[in-house]
Amino acid sequence: MKNSIPNAAKISPTDFVIFGGGGDLSIRKIIPALFWRFVDKQIDSQSNIIICLHKKTELETILNLIKPHTFNSIYLSKTLQNNWKNFHKLLSLITLDLVTGEGINDLILLLNKNLKKKQICIFYLAISSNLFETTCNLIRKSKLNFTHSRVVVEKPIGFNKQSAIEINENLYKTFKEEQIYRIDHYLGKETVQNLMALRFANTFFENQWDNKNIENVQITVAEEIGVADRISYYNEYGAIRDMVQNHLLQLLCLVAMEPPSYFDANQVRDEKLRILKSLRSLSDSDIQTGQYQGYENEFGKPTNTETFIALQVGIDNWRWAGVPFYLRTGKKLSTRASEIIITFKNKPHNIFSKLKDFDKNNDKPNMLIIRVQPNEGLRLKLTSKEPGPGGMRFFPSELNLSFNETFVERLPDAYERLLMDVARGNQTLFMRLDEVLAAWDFIDPIVDKVKSKPPQLYRSGTMGPEDKILIRNNHEWIDPKE
């Protein structure tokens, strides 16, 4: 097992209340994340984790569900075994019906003992958005919306702009904006945070980060799996609402945003908002949709829902005018990978082009490849001279920073970082309401354009339908590689 993470600042004692505590998100991500923060001593024994379940469940059952997502049980050190046992002491299970409110008194009793201490209380809504209103009403009527309370809500925040407004109006009845943490777990990934460090802590890159030096930007979020048991949800939302409205647009913002004056939550979010408001409206030719073969059989009837979407996006500002941003995401593709690829412009003149041994196939533009998942890291593609006395022969080479190979510490999951940011009151990596609404302003017209058009079929295990967008600009998709 890799070493613990050093310098992980301890948080104040906190009550974590997870609504939907028996659901997939809680079991696979939230509770394992809290365990590892406990292992690294960021969470201490004075904190509490209250798991709210729809039906009565034994603690041992929940632990058995969590364990496979927390660590490899084949290798379990004595220290980790002790940590696991001690972690159990933080857990409380209650049965709570979010519609009728039955069981709310159990939650009140658990939280009221820390009320006088003004202990931070985090409500995590790991539930469907159609339960947000009743859950927030329950919190407010039970007088649990303390000034030191915070609430975490998962994407998708709405089905369109109007529904996003309605959801947030319901949140505002119980919580203020500064208490609301709209989470996008992609922003908690180590590589995504390193993108900001790469840009704003290194003059080398930031000086090249514009339309004078960059040819195009590609953002790919590829999934090998299909929709599985999410078929009813997915057929309603599709790839555009499920992935582009949040993950891909947030990654685009971090690539394209201007440097904030300081690394401050509102300043960072102000710059992201400016990018979202600068996105050019798309024409039909900027959009390509696909659907994997067999999807309609899974759904049970014909449907135009897209399981693949590719976009060419333009940003109307001085820095990015003329630079295409290509976005794509899809299900049942050939690999599971998320990458941002910055392709730099080629040299205006190559002084080596008249040499006898010059091979134009090795004269490739520089690329910066930011691997978000899996195997997080950064790669810079360069041209180098072959070693030896054979003349000026060139070959493509790479500078490779693989986080797994470079750092001895275990890389924290995105939810670990984000949950600790909520506990500290740091909203930098969370979406503000105006960001959410600006994203829907861009997405809603795209949905309107594609909803009546049949998507192009593609075979599972490919990277989607044959490209119709990049080829117009003499560009091509660069597929993720291991």
Q: Which residues are catalytic?
A: 247
**Rg value, the chain, Cα:** 24
- Paired tokens of 321: 């005018």
**Residues 311, 438, 180, CA angle at the centre, nearest 5°?**
120
* Residue 14 near residue 423, CB atoms below 8 Å: yes
* Residue 332 near residue 292, CB atoms below 8 Å: yes
Name the nearest CA neighbour of 126 among 145, 144, 105, 152. 152
- Paired tokens of 339: 């990458």
Cα(31)–Cα(70) distance, integer angstroms: 8
The DSSP secondary structure of 315-339, one letter per residue, reads B-STTTTT--EEEEEESSBS--EEE
Burial 88-101 (b: 16+ CB within 10 A, else e): eebbbbbebebeeb
Cα(338)–Cα(222) distance, integer angstroms: 6
Burial 406-424 (b: 16+ CB within 10 A, else e): eeeebebbbbbbbbbbbbe
* Residue 233 near residue 239, CB atoms below 8 Å: no
Name the nearest CA neighbour of 121 among 105, 110, 133, 134. 110
Reduced 3-state DSSP string for 425-480: CCCCCCECHHHHHHHHHHHHHHHHHHCCCCCEEECCCECCCCCCCHHHHCCCCCCC
Quick count: other Cβ atoms within 10 Å of Cβ 449? 16
Give one word for 219, left, alpha or beta, with left for phi > 0 and alpha for psi -120 to 50.
beta
- For the chain, the distance separating the N- and C-terminal CA atoms, rounded to the nearest angstrom, is 23
Cα(248)–Cα(456) distance, integer angstroms: 21
Cα(134)–Cα(124) distance, integer angstroms: 14
Cα(13)–Cα(150) distance, integer angstroms: 14
Using DSSP, state whether 1 is helix, strand or coil: coil
Burial of 203 (0-12, 13-18, 19+ CB in 10 A): exposed
Cβ partners under 8 Å of residue 203, min gap 6: none
